[in-house]
């Protein structure tokens, strides 16, 4: 595994050779990342992962033979502690739920900008979980339809205390940290829960995107959360929509 100051060692698994090679070329431009291997199917990925022991695997779902989601358990067994991000074209909430429940640390769409992808990789390596903004609203919708969903087994947060991420509805107590939020922060939290990106929030509230980022940092700090996924779940629990 990587030392704290070393680049993150990646393996890219995708059956489309042109996309895979182009993605690798883009990732290698980021000094924080090092692509150590690539594979076109789950079988090859498992063999390479066992040998290369990457820190993180970018995994497409629609692979020939064994689908990506079905390969996650074997990859984690072959590489203890490996992080896995699903990188796919599928906007299906069922595919996302299956990936997260199988142990993926993130679910990103291939429409993501390269800079955002690199930042997401670093966040996951640091212990965070990531979901594309376009999918956040669908994740919240899934939680609403299935309030008993076990998010810890869904890969949303392995390190977060269970009471912080449980999807069941909760009543607001007098000491709930949500009362520490300003009216503007609560407004932004509601938009996060809807799945809006910082850019969309800035446009909706007619403020700068950098201002939104600062507000989001304050929201996460006040609520004791680590990322937008947790914030969306937290807001959904408390009806902050």
For 209-240, the pLDDT digits (tens) are 899 989 998 998 999 886 777 787 788 777 77
Same domain for 196 and 91?
no
Residue 11: per-residue pLDDT: 98
Among 135-139, 157-161, 172-176, 236-240, name the one with the lowest average pLDDT.
157-161
Residue 144: what pLDDT? 63
In the three-class reduction of DSSP (H, G, I as helix; E, B as strand; rest coil), residue 30 is classed as: coil
* C-alpha to C-alpha distance for 211 and 227, rounded to whole angstroms: 17
Alpha carbon distance, N-terminus to C-terminus of the chain: 41
pLDDT of residue 167: 36
Q: How confident is the model at residue 5 (pLDDT cuts 50, 70, 90)?
A: low
β-strand partners of 59: 13, 86
Task: Determine the structural domain holding residue 47 and report its residue range.
Answer: 8-131
What distance lies between CA 160 and its chain's CA centroid? 14
Q: Are residues 122 and 162 in the same domain?
A: no
Q: What is the pTM of this model?
A: 0.68
CA proximity to 60, closest of 26, 29, 101, 17: 17
Task: For residue 9, name the pLDDT band (cuts at 50, 70, 90).
Answer: very high
How far is Cα 89 from Cα 60, in angstroms, rounded to an integer?
Answer: 8
Q: How confident is the model over 91-117, as a mean pLDDT? A: 89
- Exposed/middle/buried for 111, CB within 10 Å: 0-12, 13-18, 19+? exposed
If asked whether residues 126 and 175 sit together in one domain, one would say: no
Q: Are residues 232 and 153 in the same domain?
A: yes
- Choose between 17 and 126: higher pLDDT: 17
Residues 15 and 117 in one domain: yes
Identify the domain boundary among 108, 131, 154: 131
Q: What is the CA radius of gyration of the chain?
A: 18
- Residue 2 counted as domain residue: no
Q: Please say which residue of 98, 131, 164 terminates a domain.
A: 131
Please give the pLDDT value at position 192.
85
pLDDT of residue 159: 27
Average pLDDT, the chain: 83
Q: Is residue 155 over pLDDT 50?
A: no
Mark whether 205 and 160 lie in a shared domain. yes
Number of domains within the chain: 2
The CATH code of the domain that includes 48 is 3.40.50.2300
- Both 163 and 224 in a single domain? yes
Domain end point (choices 131, 152, 186):
131
140 against 160, higher pLDDT: 140
pLDDT tens by residue, 16-60 = 999 999 999 999 999 999 999 999 999 999 999 999 999 999 999
Averaged pLDDT, 137-157: 56
Same domain, 114 and 193: no
Per the model's pLDDT, the better-predicted residue between 93 and 152 turns out to be 93
Same domain, yes or no: 73 and 114: yes
pLDDT digits (tens, 9 = 90+) for 64-92: 999 999 999 999 999 998 999 999 999 98
Residue 50: partners with Cβ closer than 8 Å, 6 or more residues away: 78, 79
For residue 49, which of 78, 22, 71 has the smallest C-alpha distance? 78
Q: Could you tell me which residues come within 8 angstroms of residue 144 by beta carbon, excluding any fewer than 6 positions away?
A: 236
Residues in the chain: 241
1 lies in some domain: no
**Residue 195: pLDDT above 60?**
yes
Of 68, 79, 113, 109, the residue nearest 10 (C-alpha): 79
Residue 217 lies in a domain: yes
CB 13 within 8 Å of CB 59: yes
Say yes or no: 88 and 177 in one domain. no
Clarify whether residues 187 and 221 are in a common domain: yes
Structure tokens at 91: 């906007």
Q: 161 and 82, same structural domain?
A: no
Contact between 30 and 5 under an 8 Å Cβ cutoff? The reply is: no
pLDDT at 164: 32
């Amino acid at each position: 595994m990587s030392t704290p100051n070393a680049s993150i060692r990646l393996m890219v698994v995708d059956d489309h050779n042109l996309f895979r090679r182009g993605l690798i070329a883009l990732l290698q431009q980021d000094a924080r990342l090092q692509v150590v291997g690539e594979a076109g199917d789950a079988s090859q990925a498992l063999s390479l992962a066992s040998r290369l022991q990457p820190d993180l695997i970018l995994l497409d779902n629609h692979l020939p033979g064994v689908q990506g989601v079905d390969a996650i358990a074997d990859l984690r067994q072959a590489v203890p502690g490996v992080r896995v991000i699903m990188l796919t074209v599928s906007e299906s909430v069922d595919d996302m739920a299956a990936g997260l429940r199988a142990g993926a640390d993130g679910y990103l769409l291939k429409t993501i900008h390269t800079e955002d992808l690199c930042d997401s990789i670093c966040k996951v390596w640091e212990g965070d979980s990531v979901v594309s903004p376009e999918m956040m609203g669908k994740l919240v919708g899934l939680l609403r339809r299935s309030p008993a969903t076990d998010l810890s087994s869904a890969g949303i947060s392995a390190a977060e205390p269970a009471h912080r991420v449980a999807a069941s509805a909760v009543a607001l107590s007098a000491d709930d940290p949500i009362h520490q939020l300003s009216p503007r922060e609560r407004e932004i939290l509601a938009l996060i829960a809807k799945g809006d990106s910082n850019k969309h929030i800035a446009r909706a509230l007619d403020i700068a995107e950098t201002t939104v980022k600062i507000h989001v940092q304050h929201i996460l700090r006040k609520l004791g959360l680590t990322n937008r996924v947790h914030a969306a779940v937290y807001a959904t629990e408390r009806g902050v929509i």
